Amino acid sequence: MTQTLHFEDVQPGDALPAWSRTTDLMHWNRYAAVNDEFMPFHMDDEDGRRAGNPAGAFGMGNLRFAYMLNALQAWIGDAAEVRELACRYRVMNQKHDELTVVGRVVAAELVGNEGQVRLEIDVTNQKGESTCPGHAIVVLPRRTPA
């Protein structure tokens, strides 16, 4: 059972709880199977090198996007809604990278009767590099409806 986060529980500056995964071919293969994304450069080192990555096969950008959604859902619970999520891919996901979704609340405001929370969000790797910075807007339930 997921605990519900309420609009009144957050304020600017609050940190999103860190959410991590270490990725490798098994994770990429599982993601590709669900999304029909069996691109050779995500599965084979030689194809990855031909695609311009000296280390070989590399992870899917959209897998990091999914990790962001997983982190947000784990934080806000099932009674809230991810209204918007956007990011820019900056650094490739290499095999065995430890990817951590991080973020912080930059604004919390009532828009009509909705408690909207805006976050800066990113996925960092084990070196602390920003791999896909972005933003999110979530709508949280209110403790006392208007």
Residue pLDDT, tens place only, 79-109: 899 999 999 999 999 999 999 999 999 999 9
Chain centroid to Cα 105, Å, comes to: 15
How many CB atoms within 10 Å of residue 74?
A: 13
pTM for this model (two decimals): 0.91
The full set of domain ranges for the chain reads 7-140
Instruction: Say which CATH architecture domain 7-140 belongs to.
Output: Roll (3.10)
Given a cut of 90, is residue 128 above it in pLDDT?
Answer: yes
How many CB atoms within 10 Å of residue 58?
A: 23
pLDDT > 70: what percent of the chain?
Answer: 97
CA dihedral 15, 95, 51, 60 (to 10 degrees): -40
Given a cut of 50, is residue 120 above it in pLDDT?
Answer: yes
